[in-house]
Protein backbone atom coordinates (compact mmCIF):
# COMPACT_ATOMS: atom_id res chain seq x y z
CA UNK A 1 0.00 0.00 0.00
CA UNK A 2 1.42 3.37 -1.00
CA UNK A 3 0.22 6.54 0.67
CA UNK A 4 0.27 9.70 -1.43
CA UNK A 5 -0.26 13.04 0.27
CA UNK A 6 -2.35 15.87 -1.17
CA UNK A 7 0.76 17.61 -2.52
CA UNK A 8 1.76 14.66 -4.74
CA UNK A 9 2.41 16.21 -8.19
CA UNK A 10 1.53 12.93 -9.93
CA UNK A 11 -2.08 13.42 -8.78
CA UNK A 12 -2.28 17.23 -8.80
CA UNK A 13 -5.01 17.33 -11.46
CA UNK A 14 -7.12 14.81 -9.53
CA UNK A 15 -6.61 16.63 -6.22
CA UNK A 16 -7.34 20.09 -7.65
CA UNK A 17 -10.47 18.97 -9.48
CA UNK A 18 -11.79 17.02 -6.51
CA UNK A 19 -11.21 19.76 -3.95
CA UNK A 20 -12.07 22.81 -6.07
CA UNK A 21 -14.81 21.49 -8.37
CA UNK A 22 -16.31 18.21 -7.17
CA UNK A 23 -16.53 18.57 -3.37
CA UNK A 24 -19.50 20.94 -3.55
CA UNK A 25 -21.43 18.33 -5.57
CA UNK A 26 -20.86 15.26 -3.39
CA UNK A 27 -23.41 15.60 -0.59
CA UNK A 28 -26.23 16.92 -2.84
CA UNK A 29 -25.63 14.07 -5.30
CA UNK A 30 -26.41 11.49 -2.60
CA UNK A 31 -29.40 13.36 -1.17
CA UNK A 32 -27.57 14.77 1.85
CA UNK A 33 -27.26 18.41 0.83
CA UNK A 34 -28.21 19.64 4.31
CA UNK A 35 -25.56 17.52 6.04
CA UNK A 36 -21.87 18.32 6.47
CA UNK A 37 -19.36 16.04 4.83
CA UNK A 38 -18.21 13.29 7.20
CA UNK A 39 -15.47 14.33 9.60
CA UNK A 40 -13.24 11.36 8.78
CA UNK A 41 -13.60 9.63 5.45
CA UNK A 42 -11.68 8.30 2.50
CA UNK A 43 -12.31 8.10 -1.21
CA UNK A 44 -10.88 5.41 -3.47
CA UNK A 45 -10.26 6.71 -6.97
CA UNK A 46 -9.88 4.66 -10.15
CA UNK A 47 -8.09 6.08 -13.17
CA UNK A 48 -10.53 5.61 -16.06
CA UNK A 49 -8.17 7.01 -18.69
CA UNK A 50 -6.47 4.93 -21.36
CA UNK A 51 -2.76 4.25 -20.79
CA UNK A 52 -0.62 7.12 -22.03
CA UNK A 53 -3.16 9.86 -21.26
CA UNK A 54 -1.49 13.12 -20.25
CA UNK A 55 -1.74 13.79 -16.51
CA UNK A 56 -3.79 16.95 -17.06
CA UNK A 57 -6.29 15.04 -19.22
CA UNK A 58 -6.81 12.04 -16.94
CA UNK A 59 -10.35 11.15 -15.90
CA UNK A 60 -10.87 9.64 -12.46
CA UNK A 61 -13.95 7.96 -11.04
CA UNK A 62 -14.81 7.23 -7.42
CA UNK A 63 -14.75 3.54 -6.58
CA UNK A 64 -16.06 4.06 -3.07
CA UNK A 65 -16.46 6.48 -0.22
CA UNK A 66 -15.68 5.00 3.17
CA UNK A 67 -17.04 6.71 6.28
CA UNK A 68 -17.46 3.73 8.58
CA UNK A 69 -14.10 2.00 8.74
CA UNK A 70 -11.41 4.44 7.81
CA UNK A 71 -7.89 3.23 8.37
CA UNK A 72 -4.84 5.33 9.03
CA UNK A 73 -2.30 3.99 6.54
CA UNK A 74 0.61 5.07 8.72
CA UNK A 75 -0.57 2.46 11.27
CA UNK A 76 -0.52 -0.54 8.92
CA UNK A 77 2.59 -1.93 10.64
CA UNK A 78 0.41 -2.58 13.72
CA UNK A 79 -2.07 -4.68 11.72
CA UNK A 80 -2.04 -8.33 12.77
CA UNK A 81 -1.80 -10.74 9.86
CA UNK A 82 -0.84 -14.40 9.47
CA UNK A 83 2.83 -13.46 9.19
CA UNK A 84 2.70 -10.79 11.96
CA UNK A 85 0.27 -12.19 14.57
CA UNK A 86 1.73 -10.13 17.42
CA UNK A 87 1.92 -6.80 15.59
CA UNK A 88 1.13 -3.81 17.76
CA UNK A 89 1.47 -0.05 18.11
CA UNK A 90 5.18 -0.32 18.95
CA UNK A 91 5.82 -1.86 15.51
CA UNK A 92 4.89 1.39 13.80
CA UNK A 93 8.07 3.29 12.80
CA UNK A 94 8.54 6.47 14.87
CA UNK A 95 7.98 8.86 11.93
CA UNK A 96 4.75 7.08 10.95
CA UNK A 97 3.62 6.99 14.59
CA UNK A 98 4.17 10.76 14.85
CA UNK A 99 2.17 11.37 11.65
CA UNK A 100 -0.66 9.10 12.85
CA UNK A 101 -0.74 11.01 16.13
CA UNK A 102 -0.82 14.31 14.26
CA UNK A 103 -3.76 13.10 12.16
CA UNK A 104 -5.61 11.74 15.19
CA UNK A 105 -5.04 14.96 17.13
CA UNK A 106 -6.30 17.02 14.21
CA UNK A 107 -9.47 14.94 13.92
CA UNK A 108 -10.02 15.19 17.67
CA UNK A 109 -9.70 18.98 17.52
CA UNK A 110 -12.17 19.15 14.62
CA UNK A 111 -14.63 16.89 16.45
CA UNK A 112 -14.44 19.02 19.61
CA UNK A 113 -15.02 22.16 17.55
CA UNK A 114 -18.13 20.61 15.96
CA UNK A 115 -19.45 19.46 19.35
CA UNK A 116 -18.93 22.92 20.84
CA UNK A 117 -21.18 24.55 18.21
51-72 confidence digits (pLDDT tens):
999 988 999 999 888 876 667 8
- CA geometry: angle 112, 116, 117, nearest 5 deg: 125
Strand 60-66 to 42-47 pairing: antiparallel
Beta strands in the chain (DSSP E): 42-47, 60-66
What's the rounded Cα separation, in Å, for the pair 21 and 90? 40
Mean pLDDT lowest among 22-31, 60-69, 82-91: 60-69
54: buried, middle or exposed (CB in 10 Å: 19+, 13-18, 0-12)? exposed
Amino acid sequence: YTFYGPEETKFQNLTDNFLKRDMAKIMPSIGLEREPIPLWWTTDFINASPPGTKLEDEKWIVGEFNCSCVGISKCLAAYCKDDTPTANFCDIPPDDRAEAKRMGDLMGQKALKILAQ
